[in-house]
Copies of this chain bind each other. A is one copy, B any other.
Amino acid sequence: MEIGKEEIAEWFKGLQDSICESLEKLDGHAKFSEDEWSRPEGGGGRSRVIKKGKLIEKGGVNFSAVSGPTPDKILQALNLPEAEFFATGVSIVLHPNNPWVPIIHMNVRYFEMSNGVWWFGGGIDLTPHIVIPEKGKDFHQFLKSTCDKHDPSFYSKFKKWADDYFFVKHRNETRGIGGIFFDRLADEEGRTKNEQWEFVQDVGKTFIPAYSDGVVLLRDKAFTEDDKNWQKIRRGRYVEFNLVHDKGTKFGLDTNGRTESILMSLPPEANWEYDHQPETEQQKETLALLKKGIDWIS
């Protein structure tokens, strides 16, 4: 039987639970607090935030399942007449204390309309303040392994999509070292809805192992005040991407979404300095690696 929207939403809710539990263990100090909210037009969500942890300075793990008349912007883009929609997903952004630990972002989502249109979307991507190529390799290897289990074309296709999507055009640099990004994944190319759903579930399940592996050794690495300042400058670029370029953020704000849940992605502190230049070799190397098309694995 084909998977239904309620089952998908329930699974995402469980994913939020299990990820929050794992992150609390990983952090070892801070606990999530929860806000349940509902949307006048239909549905709602559970926003969970963690702050001032040992590992995580500020983070959010949000679940939502909303419904109602499809926003005009979507109908126009698809050239479709009025329809009801249902959308559910889990979104995560974690800002660590230690500048050596990367910012991580994950999203898995499902969208359907009463006219029968449906798709999955999502991805995981990493934004190190200081890029360590071997760590980048490990991270991409996690994603490639997950992709390869489902379709040999996925990793290269979705890796390129992430490079193109997470691009801070006005800085001519990628947001970080990318990862995978996919959208409008439907039953094209001989893959059934259930097969696509299994892939999306696997992406969700990859988050904790990939992140846990990524923070080992780095979370306790000593850092200087200059490293911390660099982290805040890089967080400024993260803000610029999310507010200027991110389609999800823009769509959420434009369609009167829940502002606090949408903007939970913003860092606890960010700095801007006029014409800031990298000083250390690591900072220079980081900027040199914020480019599209890098093959992290080989």
Contact = CB atoms under 8 A, between A and B. Distances in A.
Q: Determine how many copies of this chain the complex contains.
A: 2
Contacts of A240: 243, 263
A270 interface: yes
Nearest to A242: B243
A49 B274 CA distance: 7
Most buried by B among A58, A272, A273, A275: A272
B272 A271 contact: no
Contacts of A260: 274-275
Interface in A14-63: 35, 47, 49, 51, 58, 60
B268 A268 contact: no
Contacts of A266: 236, 272
A73 to B, nearest CB: 15
A239 interface: yes
A285 B20 CA distance: 37
11 contacts: A49-B275, A51-B274, A58-B273, A169-B253, A170-B259, A239-B239, A240-B243, A260-B274, A268-B271, A268-B273, A269-B269
